[in-house]
Amino acid sequence: MKNLTLYISIITLSAITLLNFNCKNDVPEPGYPVYDYMEPINNPPDIFQVMYNISYFGDRFALITFKDDAVWLIQKQGDSRIMFWATSDSTSLFIESADTLGLKGGTTYVFGANNNNYEEFNNFFAQFNKLEIDYSAFEPKF
């Protein structure tokens, strides 16, 4: 009888441990700012993300104005089916997974995202990393 009680206790504790293994109440911060697409972003830091709520159909637009001329690595985070693009004046560029662009300081760029008519998405993140590349010698400028 002692062995049966011990066996049941071990199984119960193992089940509880496995069920709670992936449960986390706190979402870890990435260590840099995450901005909402609905608010204009002015003079962002060297690394940041933009979060788009794409839980319903349609385009979402983030307005970003950079302080200085710089070269940026812009990356889609997550599912590749999300449409993501950059617009400056009348020029648009679709970003398939990542792109490196020379962006002019003081210019407001529009970065758009679309859930592409998939219902299972909630949020989409785009990450921006300022690179240590000379803007004046870099091509393409956008």
Q: Does residue 25 sit within a domain? A: no
Question: Residue 76 and residue 128: Cα distance in Å, rounded?
Answer: 9
Q: Does residue 82 sit within a domain? A: yes
Q: Which domain holds residue 107?
A: 32-134
pLDDT digits (tens, 9 = 90+) for 53-102: 988 888 999 999 999 999 999 999 977 888 999 999 878 999 999 999 99
Q: Does residue 97 sit within a domain? A: yes
Q: How many domains does the chain have?
A: 1
Q: Does residue 44 sit within a domain? A: yes
Q: Does residue 3 sit within a domain? A: no
CATH code (residue 61): 2.60.120.380
Burial of 56 (0-12, 13-18, 19+ CB in 10 A): exposed
Q: Does residue 18 sit within a domain? A: no
Q: What is the pTM of this model?
A: 0.76
User: Order of strands across the sheet with 83-88?
Assistant: 41-42, 59-65, 108-114, 83-88, 91-94
